[in-house]
Amino acid sequence: MKRYSVFAIAKQALNYHLGWERAWAAPAPKKAYDVIIVGAGGHGLATAYYLGKNFGITNVAIIEKGWLGGGNTGRNTTIIRSNYLQDPSAAIYEKARSLYETMSQDLNYNVMFSPRGLLMLGQTHHEVRGYLRTVHANNMQGVATEWISPKRVKELVPIINIDGPRYPILGALYQARGGTARHDAVAWGYARACSDMGMDIIQQCEVKGVTSEAGVVTGVESTKGFIGCKKLGVVVAGHSGQVAEMAGFRLPVEAVALQAMVSEPIKPCMDVVVMANTVHGYMSQSDKGEMVIGGGTDGFNNFTQRGSFHHIEETLRALIETFPMISRLKMLRQWGGIVDMTGDRSPIISKTPLGNCFINCGWGTGGFKAIPGSGWAMAELMAKGEPGALAEAFNMWRFKEGQFIDESVAAGVAH
């Protein structure tokens, strides 16, 4: 792999930019691999990358039914934060956030990580109490957050209306090193680094079945034929339940649609990320000037990657009171993704009832921010066969034992 640098750009400029090589190879599948990862989204590619980087396992195939990064990795609102209440969540999301800090250098790929600061607005007294508790928890966990006054909120976000009347701003939970990154670039950067380590990324290859012998996985049947493996990692978000069924076990997940939208581009007006959980809306401004807006999930099972139409109006109506200046903005694009929700709204990184088959799913509405931490923990689990400190609490048996990581109360809807 040729490194990207200012010198490379200068050299290519002399040659009309015709000399750039492909970022990753497009090989045909081999007969067998040490490890197969199903799903070439952010989490799957990150898992493969850290398997190679941290454990030297490079005989790896990442297979993807669509195109890499085309699922939820390309469908989120790119928010990165780690201000979670529960210790296991704070640990893995903070690991992820810290890996984002150096990701562009580590991958030699500009993921445009922008730690611009993130506010979660307190708009009811309930919410204020909840966030004060989270700030205290974060201070104990070593996650840098603080509670700030309405005046400071207004200084950070001049376009905000703090006076209500329905939902006045009573303060905010502020994480100064939260922010955004370029979502596609995260998938592309990992893919390029994986390909460089000799891993095969096989797109347009759908898994049709999982084969096993004496309770241990032996490979997958795919649309490109049988591919053998010693270890299998299932990292497929919305379709986790379907792949788990092929592997012969059930997951406590349900698939629902979550949607987001962007406005027409406007001049820079907001240089932080603002989340308003009481009214179910969150917003940031992209480098192109579009206001990136996300809302809540639909309340029913859905695999169509199309959210309910009325949620667009609900989300915007809620945000217009807090940001009056967006009332005349035209919405440019709207899209949906299928997210896998668990009973406690926390992910699953776990061994499964099938030997040498591992699962990483249940990220629900908050997967993008976790990509590097999730890949780090999943790689450790797959390489050693046992979970490390980051993944341990996220096992799939916690529902039977009642050891929930209950972020559904802690994080509200905007997770």
Partner 1 sequence: MLILECPYCGVKAEETELTPGYEAHLKRFGPGSSDTEFEDYMFARKNPKGVHFERWRHVYGCGKWFLAARDTNTLEVFGTYPAQSSAPPADLQDKIKAKRPDWKGYK
Residues within the interface to partner 1 (CB under 8 A): 239, 241-242, 250-255, 298-304, 306, 308-310, 342-343, 399-400
Residues 6 or more apart whose Cβ sits within 8 Å of residue 243: 38, 207, 210, 234, 236
- Provide, rounded to whole angstroms, the least separation between the CB of residue 337 and partner 1: 15
Helix (H, G, I), strand (E, B) or coil at 407: helix
Alpha carbons 350 and 378: distance in angstroms, whole number:
8
Closer CB to partner 1, residue 15 or residue 304?
304
- Least Å distance, CB 314 to partner 1, is 9
| Closer CB to partner 1, 298 or 380, in the complex | 298
Instruction: Give 32's strand partners.
Output: 228
Phi and psi, residue 152, nearest 5°: -65, -35
The minimum distance between CB 275 and partner 1, in angstroms, equals 24
Of 20, 45, 2, 1, whose CA–CA distance to 374 is shortest?
Answer: 45
Residue (182 or 239) nearer to partner 1, CB: 239
As measured in angstroms, the least distance from the Cβ of 253 to partner 1 is 6
Residue 209: CB atoms within 10 A of its CB come to: 12
What's the closest the beta carbon of residue 255 comes to partner 1, in angstroms? 6
Least distance to partner 1, CB of residue 304, Å: 6
Q: Which is nearer to partner 1, 116 or 306 (CB)?
A: 306
User: Which of 372, 397, 376 lies closest to 388 in space, CA to CA?
Assistant: 376
139 or 242: whose CB is closer to partner 1?
242
Smallest gap from residue 303 Cβ to partner 1 (A): 5
Q: Which is nearer to partner 1, 82 or 360 (CB)?
A: 360
Pairing of strands 253-263, 331-342: antiparallel
Instruction: Give SS3 for 255.
Output: strand
Placement of tokens 């490890």 in the chain:
35
Measured from the CB atom, the residue of 274 and 348 that comes closer to partner 1 is 348
Question: For the chain, how long is the longest CA-to-CA vector?
Answer: 65
- 329's tokens: 């903005």
Strand partners, 134: none
Parallel, antiparallel or unpaired: strands 60-63 and 200-202: parallel
Q: Are 345 and 415 in contact (CB under 8 A)?
A: yes
